[in-house]
Amino acid sequence: MNYISTRGAGLGERHTFSDILLGGLAKDGGLYLPAAYPRVSADELGRWRTLSYADLAFEVLSTFADDIPADELRSLTSKTYTAQVYSNVRDEEAATQITPLKTLGVENGAPLSLLELSNGPTLAFKDMAMQLLGNLFEYTLAKHGETLNILGATSGDTGSAAEYAMRGKAGVRVFMLSPHKKMSAFQTAQMFSLQDPNIFNLAVEGNFDNCQDIVKAVSNDHAFKAQHKIGTVNSINWARVVAQVVYYFKGYFAATKSNDERVSFTVPSGNFGNVCAGHIARMMGLPIEKLVVATNENDVLDEFFRTGIYRVRGASETYHTTSPSMDISKASNFERFVFDLLGRDPARVLQLFRDVEEKGGFDLAASGDFARVKEFGFVSGRSSHADRVDAIRDVFQRYDTMIDTHTADGLKVAREHLQPGVPMVVLETAQPIKFGETIREALLREPERPAAFVGLEKLPQRFDIVPADAGVVKAYIAERTS
Ligand SMILES: *Cc1c(COP(=O)(O)O)cnc(C)c1O
C-alpha cells in the first residue's frame, strides 16, 4: 500500500507503512493517508465476524501494513491484544473480549450499548492504539538497528498511555513533560510510579502550555532533534489511527447478528483521531449508518458538522472542562476527513488549511461539498458540564452502570440521534476513576476502582523537577541519550 499526503507533495513518491510509522506530518505539512482505502468483501466480512480481537486486528492491519511480513505482524498483534494487557474489566466473563460490548437497554426503539475501550493499563481508549505502537516501534527499530527518544507534553491521558506502551521496550526512551503539581493525584501516580529505566518523567515548574512550548522549541532545533533522535507519538500518527479501525469492526459484530444490519457509533471527540478511524472503517465497507461526533463545550467539530464552518479557537476560547481530554482548540486529524470530503483534491485541502493558519478557519457552507457530509454518515452534537452530570446520574440509576465524563458526553449526544431498529454503540473512552471529582458530584459516591489500582497513590514515585526552560530540558535529554 502506498501512502500520500493530504496536501499533495511528493505525489510520485512511494511511502510504505513502515516509512511513515515513526514520523508525524508529511513534508508539506499534510497528513498521510492510503492512496486508496482497502475494500472488505462480503466474504471477508463474514469470516471476520467470529475472529478473536487479536486475529481481527491482524486482518485489518495487514491490509494497511502490507510491507510487514505476515507472520511478524501476526506475532505483534497477538502479543498486544491479550486478556492480560486489557485486564481492567468490570465483568470477569468479558475479559477475553478486549473490547466488550455492554448492553444498556432499548431507547426510542434503538438498542443502546457501550463499547468498552478503556480496560487497558491506563484506563483510557488511547491504550488501544498506543500498546500496538509500542510493539511496532520496538520491532521496527530493532530491524533497522536504530533508537528513538520520544518527547511529549501531557496533562493526563496521552502521556500515561505512551509511557505504559513504551516501558521496557528496547531502543525507545520516553521523556514526558507534565506541569508540576497540576495533574490529579491519580494521574500523577499513574505516570510517576513507573520505575522502568527508559521512562523519564519531567515535572515542569509551570503550566501545560509551558510544557508544550518546550516540546516545540526542542523540535524546532533540527540539529538537536536529529542528533538525539527525537520523535513523538501524537494523535496524527497514522498507525494510531489505523489501530483504532479494528474496534469499529469488533463493535459492529458484537452489536449485530448478521452483516446485513447497520449500526451507528457515537464517538466522544477532541482531535478527531477516534472518529476518523470510524470513517475509515466505513470507507472500507463496514455497514455504518451514522457516525455521531460528540463534543463538550469545546465544540469546534460540532459547529462544523452543523454549519459547514470550521473555526479554530484561541486560548481564551478554549475551555477547561470536566471532560478534559476533549478540550481542544483545533482538531488535528480533521484534515484527513476534509481530504475525502473534497473528493481527495490536495490543492483545495492545501488552500483550506492555509486559510486555517492565516484566517483561523474556513467556510464550506455554500459549497456543494458540505452537503456531502451526510453521505459520509456524519452528524454531531455537544454536551455541557450539566449534561454530563445528568447523563452519569441517569445511566447509573437506570442501568446500574457508572460511566466517565467523556463517555457521558457521548451518551448525551447519542440520545439525540437514535433511530428505531438501528443499534447505537457509544464508545466508552475512559473509566470513571480517572475523573472522580465529577463522579462524586453526580452520584455522591466514590468512583469504582479496578483492583490493580488499589493503593496506586501510595507507590513510590520517580520523577525529576525541572524549570520551564527548553535549554535545561535539552541538557537533561542530552545527558541521558549520548
Ligand atoms: C483522547 C480522548 C478523547 C478524544 O479522542 P480524539 O481521538 O482526540 O477525538 C476522548 N476521550 C478520552 C477519555 C480521551 O482520552
pLDDT (tens digit, 9 = 90+) per residue, 465-475? 999 999 999 99
Looking from the CA of residue 274, the nearest atom of ligand 1 is 7
Half-sphere exposure of residue 256, counting CA atoms within 13 Å on the CB side?
26
Q: Which residues of 422-442 are buried (b: 16+ CB within 10 A; e: fewer)?
A: bbbbbbbbbbbbbbbebbeeb
pLDDT at 9: 79
**Residue 12: is its pLDDT beyond 80?**
no
Per CATH, the architecture of 3-123+238-438 is what?
3-Layer(aba) Sandwich (3.40)
**Which CATH number among 3.40.640.10, 1.10.10.10, 3.40.50.1100, 1.20.1740.10 corresponds to the domain 147-228+455-480?**
3.40.50.1100
Over range 135-158, report the average pLDDT. 92
| Pocket test residue of 157, 275, 302 for ligand 1, highest count of atoms within 8 A of CB | 157
Over range 280-303, report the average pLDDT. 98
pLDDT (tens digit, 9 = 90+) per residue, 156-211? 778 999 999 999 999 999 999 999 998 888 989 999 999 999 999 999 999 888 89
pLDDT at 24: 80
Query: By percentage, how much of the chain surpasses pLDDT 90?
Result: 87
pLDDT (tens digit, 9 = 90+) per residue, 60-80? 999 999 999 999 999 999 999
* Residues facing residue 424 across a β-bridge: 112, 264
| Pocket test residue of 31, 118, 125 for ligand 1, highest count of atoms within 8 A of CB | 125
Give catalytic residues, as residue numbers: 126
Cα separation, 153 vs 150, in Å, equals 10
**Residue 482: is its pLDDT beyond 80?**
no
**Residue 10: is its pLDDT beyond 80?**
no
260 CA distance to ligand 1 middle (Å): 30
Query: By percentage, how much of the chain surpasses pLDDT 70?
Result: 100
Domain limits, CATH 3.40.50.1100, in the chain: 3-123+238-438, 147-228+455-480
256 CA distance to ligand 1 middle (Å): 25
pLDDT at 182: 85
pLDDT (tens digit, 9 = 90+) per residue, 393-434? 999 999 999 999 999 999 999 999 999 999 999 999 999 999
Mean residue pLDDT across the chain? 95
pLDDT at 11: 73
Alpha-carbon distances, residue 250 vs 56, 83, 94, 289, 440 (angstroms): 8, 15, 14, 16, 32
Which band of pLDDT confidence, cut at 50, 70 and 90, is reported for residue 49? very high
Which grid coordinates belong to 233?
A: 507519538
